Chain A
Amino acid sequence: MGSHSDGTPHQSGTVATTGTTEMERFPDPGLPPHRPRLTDVESKAAKRAERQVSLLFLISILGSVMFFVGYFGVRVEGPLYDVTNPTATDALRLQNLLLGLGIALAMFGIGIGVVHWARTLMPDHELVESRHAVRTEEQRADAQSILTTVYDESGIKRRPLLRNTLIGAAVVAPLPFIGLLKDLGPTNLDPLKETLWDEGVRLVRDPSGTPIKASDVTLGSTFHVVPENLNELSHHEGYLDEKAKAVVLLMRLDPESVNVSPDRADWNVDGIFAYSKVCTHVGCPVALYEQQTHHLLCPCHQSTFDLTNECEVIFGPAARPLPQLPITVDADGYLVARSDFHEPVGPTYSQRGTHVEEMQGEAN
C-alpha cells in the first residue's frame, strides 16, 4: 500500500493511507495455553457432570409426560367466561399452563443437557483453520475464458438480429402475467363518493338498530349511529363495506357555543350535530367524545377535532375536518338525514378533490 498522491487509481483490496508509516504494533502472542476444566482433571467431577446431563434428559421426559397430564387430565367443561362461575376458564388456564410447561421442560431438558454436556465433557481445545480466498486469480482466469467461449459459441455477438428480437420477446413475455392481475379489483372509484345516507334515511343506534328521537339526545350524550337501511344488507351483500363509510357520531351541544357557518345553518337540529366517524387521517373510527371540551379524539393517532368549529383539526396528524352529515327531524320526531355527505368520507386519495367538486355540484 502506499501513498496515492500520484493519482493512480487505488488497487482493489487495499486501503489508502495518508503516507505515514505504519506504527509499530505488539506482536501476536499466539493462542493462550489451554486451561483444563475441573471435569478434565477430576474424574469425580466428570462423573458428576455426566449425572447432571442425564438428570436433565430425564427432566425432559417428565416434561413430555406433563404435557399429556394437561392434555388428557384437565377437563375444560362448561361455558367459558361465565359471569358467576369461572371454573371452566380456570381449567383452560391450567391446561394451557400444563401443556406449555410440559413442552418447555421437555425442550429445556434436552437443550440444557446437551449444552452442559458440550461445555463440561466434550473437549474444549480451541482449534485453528485457515481461511481461503473467495476466489483465486487462477479460478478467475479460467472462469473468464469459459465465459468467453460460451459467449462466442452462442453466436449472439455475430447475430445482432437474433439478440435484439430475443430481448424484445423477453421483455414482453412477462406482461400477460401482470395483465392477469387486473381483475384483482374494480377500477371504478365512484363508490368512494357515495354512502347509504340519503334524504329521509333515519339515524339508528349501532348495534341495536333502533331509531333515535331528537329528544333522546340530551346535552352531553353521544350516540353511535348507522343509517337504518344498513341493517337490510347481509354481510355477503356488503354490510361491512357500507358501514365502513356510513358510521356517524351524534351529539347535542349548546347552540350558543357552536360556530355554524351560514351554508350549514340547517344541518343541525337545535344543537344536535352529526359527523362522520371515519377519521380523515387514516380511517380509524373517531369515537372518543370529550363532553366538556367538545373535542372528538381519535384513539389511533390522537387527531383531535373541535365540535364547536365544524370539527376543525386542533391537534394531531389529521389535515381535514370530519365531514358533517346534514340532519333534520321527520314528522314523528325521529332524526333523519337531509342528504348524503357533501364530500367523500374518510382518508384522502388523489381523486378526492375532483369527487368533492362532483358531489357539491350535484348537491346544488
Chain B
Amino acid sequence: MSTSTDYEYKPQTSTGRIANFVDTRVGMSPIVKEFGRKIFPDHWSFMFGEVALYTFVILLLSGTFLALWFDPSMASMEYEGSYVPMQGVEMSAAYVSSLDISFDIRGGLFLRQLHHWSALVFAASVSVHMLRVFFTGAFRRPRELNWLVGVGLFLLAIVAGFTGYSLPDDVLSGNGLRIADAILKAIPIVGAYLSMFLFGGEFPGHDIIPRLYIIHVLLIPAAILGLIVVHLFMVVVHKHTQFPGPGRTENNVVGFPVGPVYAAKAGGFFFIVFGIMALLAATTTINAIWNYGPYDPSPVQAGSQPDWYMGFTDGAVRLMPGNWPFSWEWTFWGMSIPFNVLLPMVPIMILFALMAAWPWLERWVTKDDREHHLLDRPRNAPFRTAMGVAGVVFYTVMLVSASGDLIATHFHVSLNDVIYWLRTAYFVGPILGFIITRRICLALQRKDREIVLHGRETGRVQQLPHGEFIEVHEPIDEYKRYRLVAFPDYQVQPAEPNGKGKITGLEKARGRISRWFFEDRVAPVTPAELEAAHHHHEAVTAGTQDKELVR
C-alpha cells in the first residue's frame, strides 16, 4: 500500500519524471540506498575475478556474432571459398563455415581471434583469481561455499573451452576428440557404451559437432552464468575481504564507494580488458585452422597439443609409461583395463578434490572456526602457501609435459630425456616446492620483523665517534608498522581428547599435521620487543637522525 507521500513528490526535470515513474513501479530507491555508496576495498590482486567476468562477457558477445555464421553440421561438402590450398577439398560444413568466417566474412577473422584469445585469458584469469583467493585465505568462513562455486566455475571454464575449440572440426581438435573418446572407452564396463552414446555410434560419426555445439553455446554458458550470479551474490552478502592494515578490522570494510569511484574504475576496467583482447585479436594469430586441414583420421601434425587449460591432462598421459617396468594394461574378470590411460587421472582427481575440500581441511587442522574477513599475506601463512605452491608445481609439471616435444626441438635436447626429467619432477617437484616455499615465507616473515624492530635500511653509512661504522636505519611509522605486525599468530594445536575423554586416531593425525605445519613459525613483533630493541639501539648510536615519516 502506498502512502500519501508517494504521490506528493513532483520531479522537476524530465529525467526525474522517468526515474520517478520507474521507482514508483519497481522500488529502486531502497536498492540505491543499499548499494549506491557500498564500499569496496581496493587492491590490484582483487581484480582477477573482474578480468574473468569481463572476458566471459566478451566471449558471450563475440560468440553470439560467430554463431550468426557458424554451421555446426558434419554434413560433407566441397570448399568453394577464397582460400586456395583448400579449394575443392571435401570437408564438413562446420569446417567450411569456419573457413568462411576467417576468409570471406569481413571482421570474421577478428571475431574468431577475439573469441579464442578471450577464452584463453578467461581460463587463465579464473585460475589466477582462484590462486589469489587461496593464497590470501579468502576461502575461510563464511566464504567456503563460494569457494566451491568457484571450483565449479573453474571446471566449467575448461569444459567450455574444450567444446568450443572442437567445433571447427579441424585435424588438431579432431585428434583431441579422438583422445577424449579413447579415455571414455578406457572406463571399465561402460566405457565403450559411453563412447557410442557420445558420438552417436562409432568415432567420429555425424553427431558430435552439433552436440558439442549445444553444450558449448547453451548448456555451459547457462551454467556459468548461473554460478556467476550465485558467486557475485555471495560477495555482496559477505562483502569483499581486505588486507590487514591501519583502520581495517574484521568488522569493517575500508575502501571506495561504488558510486562514483568504484563503478568508474571497474567499468573502465571492462573497456581496458576489452581493449587488450581486441589488441591481441588484431595483431596475433590464434588457432590457424586453415593450416591444420579438415578432420580426417589419417593426418596428424608434429606438435599436437590442446589449448593450455587442457594441457595438464595431455601432460599427465604423456608422463605415464605404458610398457615399463611391465605392461600397464591388465585383465580383470575378463575385462581389459588400460591402467596406463586411467591411472594418470587419479592424481588429477585427488588434486582437485583437495583443492575443493581445502577450506574444510584447513579448518580441521587449525581448529579455527571464526569468520575471517581480513586476508593473510601469503608469507604469514607459510603452511598454506607452501601447500599451494606444491599443488601448483604438480599442476605445472603436468602442463609443461604437454609440450615435451616442443621443448626437445626448441632447446635441442632429446625428447626422451625431457620425459625422464619430468617424470622425476612429477614426484620430487611438489615436495621440493613445499620445502623451499615454506623456508622463503619464514625468511620473509623474519625480514618483516627486522624492519619493525630496526627500521628500514637507508644505505647511508655513518662513522660513530668511537670509530665503528654503522648503517643508518630509519624507523618506520606506525601505519607501516601496523601492516607488518597485524597478522594472526598460527600456533600448533596439539591433539585433544574428545567428549568421551578419548584421543581418536584421527585427532592424533590432526595433531601431527598441526605440528608439521606450525612448529616452525615466526610470531609478529610485540610492543615489548620493540622497546627492547630501541634500548639496544640507544646503547649503540650516539646521535639521532631526522626521522622522516614515510607512508
A residues near B (Cβ < 8 Å) are 4-5, 7-10, 12-18, 20, 23-26, 28-32, 35, 71, 76, 78-83, 88, 92, 95-101, 103-108, 110-115, 117-119, 122-124, 126-131, 134, 181, 184-187, 189, 191-192, 206-207, 224, 226, 234-236, 238, 240-241, 243-245, 247, 277-278, 281-285, 287-288, 299-303, 312-320, 346-354
Which one of B83, B322, B497 contacts A318 once the chains associate, using CB atoms below 8 Å? B322
Which residues in A have their C-beta under 8 angstroms from that of B358?
none
Does B162 make an interface contact (CB < 8 A)? no
Known: A131-B373, A284-B175. A28 touches B249 (CB 8 A): yes
- 11 A-B interface contacts by CB (under 8 A): A81-B84, A107-B278, A130-B251, A131-B253, A134-B238, A181-B197, A240-B297, A281-B340, A281-B341, A284-B300, A317-B340
Residue in B closest to A107 when the chains form the complex, CB atoms: B275
Q: Are B482 and A96 within 8 A (Cβ)? A: no
Question: Do B253 and A301 have beta carbons less than 8 Å apart?
Answer: no
Task: State how many angstroms separate the Cβ of A41 from the closest Cβ of chain B.
Answer: 17
Chain B 23-55 per-residue mask, 1 if CB under 8 angstroms from chain A, else 0: 000000000000001110000000000000000
Q: Do B268 and A126 touch (CB < 8 A)?
A: no
Task: Assess whether B516 is interfacial by the CB under 8 Å rule.
Answer: no
Contact of A129 among B192, B198, B253 (CB under 8 A): B253
Q: B298–A243 contact, CB under 8 A?
A: yes
Which residues of chain B have C-beta atoms less than 8 A from A24's C-beta? Answer: 526-528
Which of B105-113, B147-155, B379-387 sits within the interface?
B105-113
Say yes or no: is B509 at the interface (Cβ < 8 Å to chain A). no
Q: Is the CB of A18 within 8 A of B491?
A: yes
- A96–B200 CA distance with the chains assembled, in angstroms: 38
B205 interface hit (Cβ, 8 Å): yes
B450 contacts A by Cβ under 8 Å: no
Contact check, B323 vs A318: say whether CB atoms are below 8 A apart. yes
When the two chains form the complex, which single residue of B39, B84, B271 contacts A110, counting CB atoms closer than 8 Å?
A: B271
Establish whether residues A350 and B191, one from each chain, have CB atoms under 8 Å apart when the complex forms: yes
Given that A79-B84, A134-B142 are contacting pairs, would A108 and B264 also be in contact in the complex, using a CB cutoff of 8 Å? no
Instruction: Check: B335 CB closer than 8 A to any chain A CB.
Output: yes
- With A26-B482, A32-B479, A185-B207 already in contact, 15 other A-B pairs whose C-beta atoms are closer than 8 Å: A28-B249, A29-B479, A32-B247, A88-B82, A99-B107, A103-B110, A117-B268, A122-B261, A186-B196, A277-B298, A282-B182, A282-B186, A285-B175, A319-B323, A347-B182
Set of chain B residues within 8 Å of A317, measured between Cβ atoms:
317-322, 340-341
Asked if B460 is an interface residue, CB under 8 A from chain A, the answer is: no
Q: Are B328 and A32 in contact (CB under 8 A)?
A: no
Knowing A128-B253, A299-B300, A319-B340 are in contact, say whether A122-B524 is a contact too (CB < 8 A).
no
Contacts of A126 in B (CB 8 A): 247, 254-256
Q: How far, in angstroms, from A98 to B107 measured CA to CA in the complex?
A: 10
Q: Is the CB of A80 within 8 A of B185?
A: no
B178 contacts A282, C-beta separation under 8 Å: yes
Interface centre among A24, A111, A115, A119 (most CB of B within 10 A): A111
Question: Which interface residue of A97, A189, A303, A348 has the most chain B CB atoms within 10 A?
Answer: A348
Q: Smallest CB–CB gap between B460 and chain A, Å?
A: 25
Q: Which of B37, B269, B298, B320 has the most CB of A within 10 A?
A: B298
Q: How far is the CA of A338 from the CA of B306 in the complex (A)?
A: 38
| B485 interface hit (Cβ, 8 Å) | yes
In the complex, chain B residues whose CB is within 8 Å of the CB of A224? 298
- Whether A247 pairs with B551 at a CB distance below 8 angstroms is no
- Selected contact of A300 from candidates B175, B237, B369, CB within 8 Å: B175
Tell me whether A26 and B269 are in contact (CB under 8 A): no
Question: How near does chain B come to A103, taking the closest CB pair, in angstroms?
Answer: 4
B327 surroundings in chain A (CB, below 8 A): 319-320
Chain B residues with CB under 8 Å of A5's CB are: 496-497
Which 10 A-B pairs have CB atoms at the shortest separation, nearest pair first?
Answer: A100-B282, A111-B271, A235-B76, A114-B268, A31-B247, A282-B182, A347-B182, A107-B275, A111-B272, A108-B275
Q: Mark B228-269, 1 if CB is under 8 A from A, else 0.
A: 000000000111000000110111111111001100110111
- Give chain A residues whose Cβ lies under 8 Å from the Cβ of B267: 114
Could you tell me if A185 and B200 are in contact, using CB atoms closer than 8 angstroms? yes
User: Is B360 in the interface zone, CB < 8 Å from A?
Assistant: no
B322 CB, nearest partner CB in chain A, Å: 4
Give chain B residues whose Cβ lies under 8 Å from the Cβ of A240.
204, 295-297
Q: Nearest Cβ distance between residue B333 and chain A, in whole angstroms?
A: 10
CB distance from A113 to the nearest CB of B (A): 7
How far is it, in angstroms, between the C-alpha of A95 and the C-alpha of B82 when the chains are bound? 16
Shortest distance in angstroms between B170's beta carbon and chain A's nearest beta carbon?
13
Interface residues of B in 175-217 (CB under 8 A from A): 175, 178-179, 181-183, 185-189, 191-193, 195-207
Q: Flag if A28 contacts B247 (CB, 8 Å).
A: yes
From residue B105, how far is it (CB to closest CB) to chain A in Å?
A: 11
In the complex, what's the smallest C-beta–C-beta distance from B260 to chain A, in angstroms?
A: 6
Known A18-B493, A26-B527, A192-B192; judge A243-B296 contact (CB<8 A).
yes
The residue of chain B having its C-beta at the shortest distance from the C-beta of A35 within the complex is B551
Nearest chain A residue, comparing its CB with the CB of B481: A26
Contact of B110 among A100, A278, A320 (CB under 8 A): A100
Instruction: Report A21 CB to chain B, min CB distance, Å.
Output: 12
Residues of B within 8 A of A184 (CB): 197-198, 200
Q: Do the beta carbons of B283 and A100 come within 8 Å of each other?
A: yes
Task: Tell whether, in the assembled complex, residue B300 and residue A13 are in contact, meaning their CB atoms are under 8 Å apart.
Answer: no
Closest beta carbon of chain B to A306's beta carbon, Å: 11
A63 to chain B, nearest CB (A): 9
B308 in the interface (beta carbon within 8 A): no
Given A96-B110, A185-B197, A30 contacting B247 (CB threshold 8 A): yes
Complex CA distance for A4 and B278, rounded to whole angstroms = 59
A319 proximity list for chain B (CB < 8 A): 322-323, 327-329, 338, 340
B213 CB to closest chain A CB, in angstroms?
15
Chain B residues closer than 8 Å to A17, beta-carbon distance: 491
Q: Is the CB of B84 within 8 A of A23?
A: no
Cα distance, A202 to B183, chains bound together (Å) = 32
The residue in A206, A241, A312 that gathers the most chain B C-beta atoms within 10 A of its C-beta is A241
Contact of B185 among A83, A303, A347 (CB under 8 A): A347
Known contacts A317-B341, A349-B195; is-contact A299 B304 (Cβ 8 Å): yes
Knowing A191-B202, A284-B179, say if A118 contacts B260 (CB, 8 Å).
yes
A284 with B304, Cβ < 8 A, contacts A9-B499, A185-B196 known: yes
A80 to chain B, nearest CB (A): 4
Q: A14-B369, A101-B279, A185-B196 are in contact. Are A285 and B298 (CB under 8 A)?
A: yes
